[in-house]
Structure 1
Amino acid sequence: MAVQPNQQFSMDPPAQQSFVRFFKNLPEKLDTTIRFFNRSDYYTLHGSDALFAAQEVFKTTSVCKMIGAEPHKTEGVILNKGHFETFVRDLLLVKQYRVEVYVNQGSSKNHNWILEHKGSPGNLAHFEDILFGNNDIVVGVSVIAVKLGTEGKSRVVGLSCVDVVSTSILVAEFQDNESFSNLEAIIVTLAPKECLLIQGEGSYEFQTLKQLIERNNAMVTLRKRNEFSSDSIIDDLNTLIKFKKGQKQNAQSLPEVNLNLAMSATSALIKYLDLTSDEGYMNQFSLKQVEQSRYIRLDSAAIKALNIEPQIDTASNLHGNPTASVLTLLDKCRTAQGHRLIAQWVRQPLRDLSLIKERHDIVELLVQNNELRSVLNDDYLKRIPDLQQLAKKLARKKSTLQDCYKIYLCVSYLPKLLEQLSPEANVTALKTMIINPLKELIEDMDKFQQLVEQTIDLDAAEKGDFMVNPGFADDLKELKDAMDETEERIQRQLGKAADDLGLEAGKTFKLESNQQFGYYFRITLKEEKILRNNKRYTILDSNKTGVRFRNNKLSELNDDFVAARNKYLEKQKDVIAEIVGIAAGYSETVRTIGGVLACLDVLTAFASAAVSANKVYVRPKMVPSEEGELNLIQVRHPCLEMQQGVDYIANDINFKRDQYHFCIITGPNMGGKSTYIRSVGVAALMAHIGSFVPCDRATISLLDCILARIGADDSQLKGLSTFMMEMIETAAILKTATCNSLVIIDELGRGTSTYEGCGIAWSIAEHLARDIRSYCLFATHFHEITKLVEEVPTIQNHHVTALVEDDKLTLLYKVKPGICDQSFGLHVAKMANFPPDVIEFARRKQAELEDYQSVVFEGSDNPQKKRKIIQEAETLISQFLKKCKTLDVTSLSDADLESEVLSLKEEVLSHKNPYIEALLDASS
Structure 2
Amino acid sequence: MAVQPNQQFSMDPPTQQSFVRFFKSLPEKPSSTVRFFNRSDYYTLHGSDALFAAQEVFKTTSVCKMIGAPPHKTEGVILNKGHFETFIRDLLLVKQYRIEVYVNQGSAKNQDWILEYKGSPGNLLQFEEILFGNNEVAVGTSVIAVKLGSEGKTKIVGVSCVDVIGTTISVCEFTTDESFSDLEALVVTLAPKECLLIQGEGSYEFKTIKQIMERSNVMITLRKKSDFSTDSLMQDLNTLVKFKKGQQQNAQSLPETNLNVAMAATASIIKYLELTSDEGNINQFTLQQLEQSRYVRLDTAAIRALNVEPRNDVPSGPSGNFNSSILGLLDKCRTSQGHRLIAQWVRQPLRDLSLIKERLDIVEALMKDNELRSALNEDHLRRVPDLQQLAKKLSRKKANLQDCYKIYLCVAHLPTLLEQLSAATGVAAFTAMLIEPLKELIEDMDKFQQMVEQTIDLEAAEKGDFLVRPDFDDELKELNVNMEAAEKELGGQLGKVADDLSLEAGKTLKLESNQQFGYYFRVTLKEEKILRNKKNYTVLDSNKSGVRFRNSKLTDINEDYLAARDKYTVQQKSVVDEIIGIAAGYCSPIKSIGSVVACLDVLTAFATAAANAQKAYVRPEMLPSETGELKLEQARHPCLELQEGVDYIANDIDFKRDESTFYIITGPNMGGKSTYIRSVGVVALMAHIGSFVPCDKATISLLDCILARVGADDSQIKGLSTFMTEMVETAAILKAATCNSLVIIDELGRGTSTYEGCGIAWSIAEHLAKDVKAYCLFATHFHEITKLAEDVPTVKNKHVTALVGDNKLTLLYKVKPGICDQSFGIHVARMANFPEEVIEFAKRKQSELEDCQGAVFEGSENPEKKRKIIKEGEDLIAQFANKCKTLDQSLSDAELKGKIATFKEEILSHKNPYIKALLSSP
Give 1:469 shift: 1.0
Provide the residue aligned with 1:573 in structure 2: 573
Tell me the distance in 1 between the aligned counterparts of 2:18 and 2:432: 67
- Once the two structures are superposed, residues 389-436 of structure 1 have per-residue CA deviations (whole angstroms, 9 ceiling, x without a partner) of 111112222111011000000001110001101124521111100111
1:271 and 2:232 aligned: no
Provide the residue aligned with 1:554 in structure 2: 554
Tell me the distance in 2 between the aligned counterparts of 1:653 and 1:498: 72
Tell me the distance in 2 between the aligned counterparts of 1:146 and 1:905: 75
Provide the residue aligned with 1:447 in structure 2: 447
Q: Which AA in structure 2 matches 1:21?
A: R
Provide the residue aligned with 2:367 in structure 1: 367
1:658 and 2:658 aligned: yes
Q: Which AA in structure 2 matches 1:235?
A: Q
Conserved in 2, the CA contact under 8 Å of 1:195 and 1:218? yes
Tell me the distance in 2 between the aligned counterparts of 1:805 and 1:533: 77
Tell me the distance in 1 between the aligned counterparts of 2:806 and 2:763: 39
Label 1:35 to 1:920 Cα distance change in 2 as closer, same or farther (>3 A).
same
Structure 1 residue runs without a partner (length 5+): 315-319
Label 1:869 to 1:450 Cα distance change in 2 as closer, same or farther (>3 A).
same
Provide the residue aligned with 2:819 in structure 1: 819
Matches within 5 A, 1:739-754: 739-754=739-754
Q: Which AA in structure 2 matches 1:215?
A: R
Give 1:203 shift: 2.2
Conserved in 2, the CA contact under 8 Å of 1:425 and 1:435? no
1:126 and 2:126 aligned: yes
Conserved in 2, the CA contact under 8 Å of 1:137 and 1:389? no
Tell me the distance in 2 between the aligned counterparts of 1:856 and 1:648: 35
Q: Which AA in structure 1 matches 2:60?
A: T
Give 1:224 shift: 1.4
Provide the residue aligned with 1:760 in structure 2: 760
Tell me the secondary structure at the aligned position of residue 684 of structure 2: helix
Label 1:505 to 1:111 Cα distance change in 2 as closer, same or farther (>3 A).
same
Bigger shift: residues 498-507 or 577-586: 498-507
- Once the two structures are superposed, residues 670-700 of structure 1 have per-residue CA deviations (whole angstroms, 9 ceiling, x without a partner) of 1111111111111111111101111111111
- Once the two structures are superposed, residues 338-383 of structure 1 have per-residue CA deviations (whole angstroms, 9 ceiling, x without a partner) of 1111111111111000111111111111111111111111110111
Conserved in 1, the CA contact under 8 Å of 2:35 and 2:45? yes
Label 1:739 to 1:504 Cα distance change in 2 as closer, same or farther (>3 A).
closer
Label 1:532 to 1:604 Cα distance change in 2 as closer, same or farther (>3 A).
closer
Provide the residue aligned with 1:851 in structure 2: 851
Provide the residue aligned with 2:667 in structure 1: 667
Give 1:871 shift: 2.9
Provide the residue aligned with 1:351 in structure 2: 351
Give 1:116 shift: 0.9
Matches within 5 A, 1:514-663: 514-522=514-522, 538=538, 540-541=540-541, 548-663=548-663
Tell me the distance in 1 between the aligned counterparts of 2:786 and 2:477: 87
Matches within 5 A, 1:671-690: 671-690=671-690
Label 1:313 to 1:238 Cα distance change in 2 as closer, same or farther (>3 A).
closer
Aligned residues: 914
Tell me the secondary structure at the aligned position of residue 519 of structure 2: strand
Bigger shift: residues 486-495 or 679-688: 486-495
Matches within 5 A, 1:317-396: 323-396=323-396
Tell me the distance in 2 between the aligned counterparts of 1:530 and 1:436: 58
Give 1:498 shift: 4.7
Tell me the distance in 1 between the aligned counterparts of 2:693 and 2:543: 52
Provide the residue aligned with 2:59 in structure 1: 59
Give 1:917 shift: 6.6
Tell me the distance in 2 between the aligned counterparts of 1:303 and 1:532: 60
Give 1:151 shift: 2.3
- Once the two structures are superposed, residues 835-879 of structure 1 have per-residue CA deviations (whole angstroms, 9 ceiling, x without a partner) of 111111111111111133323456545533432343345556778
Conserved in 2, the CA contact under 8 Å of 1:666 and 1:819? yes
Provide the residue aligned with 1:283 in structure 2: 283
Tell me the distance in 2 between the aligned counterparts of 1:343 and 1:293: 19
Matches within 5 A, 1:666-815: 666-815=666-815
Give 1:882 shift: 9.3
1:829 and 2:832 aligned: no
Structure 2 residue runs without a partner (length 5+): 315-319
Q: Which AA in structure 1 matches 2:604?
A: T
Conserved in 2, the CA contact under 8 Å of 1:425 and 1:431? no
Conserved in 2, the CA contact under 8 Å of 1:633 and 1:653? yes
Conserved in 2, the CA contact under 8 Å of 1:363 and 1:604? yes
Give 1:251 shift: 0.7
Tell me the distance in 1 between the aligned counterparts of 2:411 and 2:187: 35
Give 1:58 shift: 1.2
Tell me the distance in 2 between the aligned counterparts of 1:858 and 1:540: 89
Provide the residue aligned with 2:296 in structure 1: 296
Matches within 5 A, 1:167-182: 167-182=167-182
TM-score (norm 2): 0.95
Conserved in 1, the CA contact under 8 Å of 2:372 and 2:424? no
Bigger shift: residues 556-565 or 709-718: 556-565
Q: Which AA in structure 2 matches 1:280?
A: G
Provide the residue aligned with 2:196 in structure 1: 196
Tell me the distance in 2 between the aligned counterparts of 1:416 and 1:97: 43
Q: Which AA in structure 2 matches 1:163?
A: D
Tell me the secondary structure at the aligned position of residue 30 of structure 2: coil
Tell me the distance in 1 between the aligned counterparts of 2:793 and 2:686: 30
Aligned residues: percent identity? 75
Tell me the distance in 2 between the aligned counterparts of 1:400 and 1:898: 111
Label 1:477 to 1:901 Cα distance change in 2 as closer, same or farther (>3 A).
farther
Give 1:713 shift: 2.1
Provide the residue aligned with 1:163 in structure 2: 163
Conserved in 1, the CA contact under 8 Å of 2:149 and 2:156? yes
Label 1:909 to 1:916 Cα distance change in 2 as closer, same or farther (>3 A).
farther
Conserved in 2, the CA contact under 8 Å of 1:880 and 1:905? no
Bigger shift: residues 855-864 or 323-332: 855-864
Label 1:264 to 1:887 Cα distance change in 2 as closer, same or farther (>3 A).
farther
Conserved in 2, the CA contact under 8 Å of 1:97 and 1:121? yes
Tell me the secondary structure at the aligned position of residue 811 of structure 2: strand
Give 1:559 shift: 2.3
Q: CA RMSD in A?
A: 2.7
Conserved in 2, the CA contact under 8 Å of 1:312 and 1:322? no
TM-score (norm 1): 0.94
Provide the residue aligned with 1:317 in structure 2: none
Tell me the secondary structure at the aligned position of residue 653 of structure 2: strand
Tell me the distance in 1 between the aligned counterparts of 2:55 and 2:547: 36
Q: Which AA in structure 1 matches 2:356?
A: I
Tell me the distance in 1 between the aligned counterparts of 2:539 and 2:822: 81
Label 1:885 to 1:188 Cα distance change in 2 as closer, same or farther (>3 A).
farther
Provide the residue aligned with 2:186 in structure 1: 186
Give 1:153 shift: 2.3
Conserved in 2, the CA contact under 8 Å of 1:631 and 1:700? yes
Label 1:523 to 1:675 Cα distance change in 2 as closer, same or farther (>3 A).
closer
Bigger shift: residues 726-735 or 142-151: 142-151
Tell me the secondary structure at the aligned position of residue 853 of structure 1: helix
Conserved in 2, the CA contact under 8 Å of 1:884 and 1:901? no
Give 1:560 shift: 1.9
Q: Which AA in structure 2 matches 1:668?
A: P
Tell me the secondary structure at the aligned position of residue 49 of structure 2: helix
Label 1:527 to 1:657 Cα distance change in 2 as closer, same or farther (>3 A).
closer
Give 1:5 shift: 1.1
Give 1:140 shift: 1.0
Tell me the distance in 2 between the aligned counterparts of 1:280 and 1:458: 27
Matches within 5 A, 1:94-133: 94-133=94-133
Give 1:494 shift: 3.2
Tell me the distance in 2 between the aligned counterparts of 1:181 and 1:260: 21
Tell me the distance in 1 between the aligned counterparts of 2:466 and 2:447: 20
Give 1:102 shift: 0.4
Conserved in 1, the CA contact under 8 Å of 2:54 and 2:63? yes
1:421 and 2:429 aligned: no
Tell me the distance in 1 between the aligned counterparts of 2:618 and 2:79: 52
